Structure 1
Amino acid sequence: MLAHLSLKQFAVVDAAELAFGPGLTVISGETGAGKSLLVDALGLLSGARADSGVVRHGADRAELVGEFDLADAPLALDWLRERELHDGDGDPRCLVRRVVRADGGSRAWINGSPVTLTQLGELAGRMVEIHGQHEHQALMSRGSQLDLLDAFGRTGALREAVAEAARHWSGLLREREALQARGDVSDRIAWLSHQHAELERDALEPEPLARLLAEHRRHGHASDLIEACERASLRLGGEDGPSISRTVQQVRNELQRASEHEPRLSEVDGMLDLAVIQLDEALALLDRVRSDLDLDPASFEALDRQLGRVHELARKHRVSPDQLAERRNEIALELEQLSGATTRLETLDSEIAAARNAWRIAAGHLSEARRAAATTLAASTTELIAELGMGGGRFDIQFEPTDDDRPDPNGGERVEFLVAANPGQPARALRKVASGGELSRISLAIEVASLGLDAVPTMVFDEVDTGIGGAVAHIVGQKLRALGARRQVLCVTHLPQVAAQGHAHYRVSKTKQEGLTLSAVQVLSAREREEEIARMLGGVELTREARAAAKRLLADVG
């Protein structure tokens, strides 16, 4: 639940600190005092978009902080832990902060970590539900009516199964349409087969291509390589003239004769011995290289033709030679897909039919759950309508089947909320109810009947009691107080009958300082609360009768 709300430089509020507890907390005040600002602040903490108008005139930014006790909100705690926004130390508190600058920009934090507005909204959806004074307008939409019924019946898992079945059917249908759009693919297959055969003729992987290039270069420079090998062999170990090997051996012989007079010359001899070994190995390798080299014009011509084909293929396919293997594989994959297109079309028909049948089964389960929920919701709402001064009125939910040949992700039916405001009248669509007062009461009855069953611990009502009064207002207050026994309820109201039902009461008042209008929020003591309810009953002048009526209202609550 919401434990604490802090506002700084917000609209006409300079600074305010509000503490909240369980039960029903009511917020009242004169017209224009800014009662709904507290709801607006919670909306911003819930991820609503902000503009510079929420920053108090003359200030550079507005700051909002909400502290929530999530002991009654396990889904919110789980969400925080999954995103490592809660340390899991057993403390169920959560701090949400939002700063809106005078230029309209804003930033948000959860437990000190910066977050996006989307994340703020995801968390708030697990902590707070806000019902505005125009909430009934959303109930006019048949889509919203279906969503409310599903929320009431807790059919989320069934509805997701239906949506998944519809997506699977749609995916198969798109695949079939794409295959059919190709038409006759035989010419394409023939052309791709020819291209693939050309690419299969040579080894086009990087390693074989590297070997081909090296072999081509070696054959192209064979004459120069042979001459270089022969000259090196003569200089290193030739027998017909001076050579490095013979010179080194002569030096060793001379040093060996002189080493008996200088022992360090033996070390030099050892080094030259190693050099002779290296020279012998070099001569052997030169001999092997020379024997591998051959002036073979035919082989060079064959290599040249092969390399030419590779470059020609690269130009043809507009890729580099080292990308030809990848291009060959792409063509092979497309050939495989096209070759199986006819067979795939045949199997797709049966798969589409099976997917449609799977959707019908899933939609049937969802319909059963919806009808059961509709019966319960209709009975509860009808009972509440009678209590709200519309005796004999009736609420019902009508189901209209959709076309099951085209699976709908929302299920196999649409719903329409029907209302008969008076006995003997036929039920009409809720969106066609003419009286604003009746519509307000009916919408409130639907909201009260469908609330308190989900896991969201805090519910906020912003003047949803507009258009009602008298005994009906007293009953509305009782219903909100009863809802407060199960959930934390915050209610902005102008009705004294509703305000008297609160477990706690805040008053919003406005003053003028230095030509600026400011709003102040204060929690009321028992005496102050009596005065506020008397004001709500009697207007500006607090008469003895208004005070007596306020006392009676509070005494009736007990």
Structure 2
Amino acid sequence: MILSLSIRNFVLIDRLDIDAGSGLTALTGETGAGKSIILDALSLALGAAADRSLIRAGADQASVAVEFDLPPHHPAWDVLKDQGIAAQLDEALTLKRVLRATGPARSFVNDQAVSAGLLAEIGELVVEIHGQHAASGLMRPSTHRRLLDQFAGNDALLAACAAAFSTFQEAEARRDQLETDQAQAIEAREWLEMAVEEISRLAPVAGEATELAGLRTRLMQSERVTEAVAEAETALEAASIETVLAKVSRAMERICRLPGFEASTDALPVAARTAAEAVERALIETREASACVSALERLIDHDTDALDAAEARLFALRALARKHVTEPELLPDLLVSLRGKLDLAEAGEDALLKARKDAARALAHWHQVAQTLTAARVSAARRLETVIAGELAPLKLGRATIRIAVEPLAEGEGGANGADRVEFEAETNAGSGFGPLRKIASGGELARFSLALKCALAEAGVAPTLIFDEVDQGVGGSVAAAIGERLVRLARARQVFAVTHSPQVAASAATQWLVEKDHDQGSGGTRVRGLDDSARQEEIARMLSGAEVTEEARAAAGRLLEDA
């Protein structure tokens, strides 16, 4: 529901901040006070077309912001998530529109810039405006099927229909793909046979090309490795390093064995032992180095035949890969794919016949589910027509009839939501013929039709806030009282605002706001103030008697408030 509305520099409004409550709120005031301006401002924030003429004279921009409290399961959150708009389910949702004297209008959701289209999409989900000129969801045929389904409780049938249609689409896609693949395979059969034979003859193995490339590299380097190892062995032998180190080691050993040197801590004996240990380590490392060089020689694989074979195989794999515009490593997968296509070309009609039967069965199942959904809709339409008829008479629309047309869509136009077109139609006088609500109903009737439909549909629709603009135009007495009673009924589950000139409707409200000229502003702006019980009685008395409020009018107003 709406928590607050903030308007800045909009037409006659300089600055206006309104905090809203639940239940039914009546907006009253003299003609020209600015009630329609407030609705225009709200519509702007909900995504209506921008018009620079709405900017207050002398201002460079106008802005309207509306704050909402929505339940966590409301579909508006899903729309925001799909669009990547950050939002916390436990926080308020704010829609804002800014009109600028120069430059385009800007739209915001939770202070994040969005397109006007997204703002309008969210706006339709959170507020419904019903009035003489407001194109509410009830007036748009595109929403009628959804409203009827909600009234009928068709959720399970809709889910089954969507699942059946999805299965049919998948089966149809498989059939179409198979038909295309088979046609292409038959046309390319000769080439496929040649390609399969050619690749099969080479018999590529997964990972083979990479392994051959590594082997080829190693074999190509073996000769250089052989030369280097021979050079190292020759150098070791020519230098007689091991012989020299052995002599040095024996000399150091003689020094360390001199009397008094073995355990002495004097500098010379200690240095002699250190030198002996170092020479010993050098001798060991030299012998180990020589052994390692010899071992390296034994590991050298210098096989010219193997190198030639590896190169020939690798070049063959690469050439075949280039021919088929692929990578050598992917040749085994390509062979599997080409064999599959060749099998398809040679398999005849068996696979295709099965795919066609699967698609036909899936289509038949969808038709069956769609027909069940159609029957449920037709039954619900008759029930809803009866409920609506009961709402029309008290609203002085007893001569009107609402018909809910459930008609089949053209072949091929059905889908996840079934195969029906649903539209609410009206006949305002017997024999005049049925037509769309917008075209058949007059301005005053249109608002009352909306109220009647909304009451009949009860919980259908997702908008938590409903606004009725002069739904009581041209009626009074018992009809106005009936309007008030129905607005109160709707307000038990939703937040409802009623812009009204009817004292009966105003008295029915839980809260009443007075829209009036702000004479404290030199330019004659508009302001809104909530009325306490005494002020409400005075305002309703004005609505009853006109400019001059009489005691009789005050008494009548008091009775209306007591009876509400």
Q: Check whether TM > 0.5.
A: yes
User: Structure 2 CA distance, aligned partners of 1:52 and 1:431?
Assistant: 32
1:65-96 per-position Cα deviation (integer Å, ceiling 9, x unaligned): 5263x6xx46359969x9895597xxxx7463
How far is the alpha carbon of 1:31 from its aligned partner? 4.5
Q: Residue type matched to 1:134 in 2?
A: H
How far is the alpha carbon of 1:525 from its aligned partner? 3.7
Query: For 1:295-444, what aligned pairs fall within 5 Å after superposition?
Result: 296-313=303-320, 315-317=322-324, 323-326=327-330, 328-329=332-333, 332-333=336-337, 335-336=339-340, 339-340=343-344, 343-402=350-409, 407-423=414-430, 425=431, 428-431=434-437, 434-436=440-442, 437-444=444-451
Contact map agreement 1:494 1:536 (CA 8 A) in 2: yes
Report SS of the residue matched to 2:398: coil
How far is the alpha carbon of 1:457 from its aligned partner? 4.4
User: Structure 2 CA distance, aligned partners of 1:116 and 1:252?
Assistant: 87
Unaligned runs of 5+ in 1: none
Tell me the equivalent position of 2:253.
256
For residue 548 of structure 2, the aligned residue among 534, 539, 543 is 543
Query: For 1:443-454, what aligned pairs fall within 5 Å after superposition?
Result: 443-452=450-459
Distance 1:171 1:421, change over 3 A: same
How far is the alpha carbon of 1:229 from its aligned partner? 1.5
User: Structure 1 CA distance, aligned partners of 2:60 and 2:242?
Assistant: 94
User: Structure 2 CA distance, aligned partners of 1:549 and 1:275?
Assistant: 123
User: Structure 2 CA distance, aligned partners of 1:338 and 1:535?
Assistant: 90
1:7-66 per-position Cα deviation (integer Å, ceiling 9, x unaligned): 445554333333333332111334554324544555566677867777655256636252
Mapped pair 1:153 → 2:152:
yes
Tell me the equivalent position of 1:168.
167
Mapped pair 1:105 → 2:106:
yes
1:374-399 per-position Cα deviation (integer Å, ceiling 9, x unaligned): 23311111112222223354333233
Tell me the equivalent position of 1:15.
15
Mapped pair 1:509 → 2:510:
no
Query: For 1:9-408, what aligned pairs fall within 5 Å after superposition?
Result: 9-10=9-10, 12-40=12-40, 42-43=42-43, 58=59, 62=63, 64=65, 66=67, 68=69, 73=71, 75-76=73-74, 94=92, 96=94, 98=96, 100=98, 102=100, 104-109=105-110, 128-135=127-134, 139=138, 141-182=140-181, 183-186=183-186, 187=188, 189-190=192-193, 192-194=195-197, 196-197=199-200, 200-201=203-204, 204=207, 207-219=210-222, 222=223, 224-236=224-236, 238=237, 241-260=238-257, 261=261, 262-293=269-300, 296-313=303-320, 315-317=322-324, 323-326=327-330, 328-329=332-333, 332-333=336-337, 335-336=339-340, 339-340=343-344, 343-402=350-409, 407-408=414-415
How far is the alpha carbon of 1:185 from its aligned partner? 0.4
Contact map agreement 2:512 2:536 (CA 8 A) in 1: yes
Give the structure-1-normalised TM-score: 0.79
Unaligned runs of 5+ in 2: 262-268
1:340-385 per-position Cα deviation (integer Å, ceiling 9, x unaligned): 5865422222221221232133324423432343233111111122
Q: CA RMSD for the aligned pairs? A: 4.2
Q: Residue type matched to 1:26 in 2?
A: A
Distance 1:551 1:379, change over 3 A: farther
User: Structure 2 CA distance, aligned partners of 1:471 and 1:524?
Assistant: 25
Contact map agreement 1:500 1:554 (CA 8 A) in 2: no
Contact map agreement 2:545 2:553 (CA 8 A) in 1: no
User: Structure 2 CA distance, aligned partners of 1:140 and 1:445?
Assistant: 13
How far is the alpha carbon of 1:291 from its aligned partner? 3.8
Give the structure-2-normalised TM-score: 0.78
Tell me the equivalent position of 2:266.
none
1:269-314 per-position Cα deviation (integer Å, ceiling 9, x unaligned): 3344333333333333333433454665433322332343344345
Distance 1:467 1:311, change over 3 A: farther
Tell me the equivalent position of 2:264.
none
How far is the alpha carbon of 1:208 from its aligned partner? 1.0
Distance 1:363 1:503, change over 3 A: same
Q: Residue type matched to 2:488 in 1?
A: R
Contact map agreement 2:185 2:344 (CA 8 A) in 1: no
User: Structure 2 CA distance, aligned partners of 1:466 and 1:130?
Assistant: 16
How far is the alpha carbon of 1:169 from its aligned partner? 1.5
Indicate the percent of aligned positions where both proteins have the same amino acid: 30
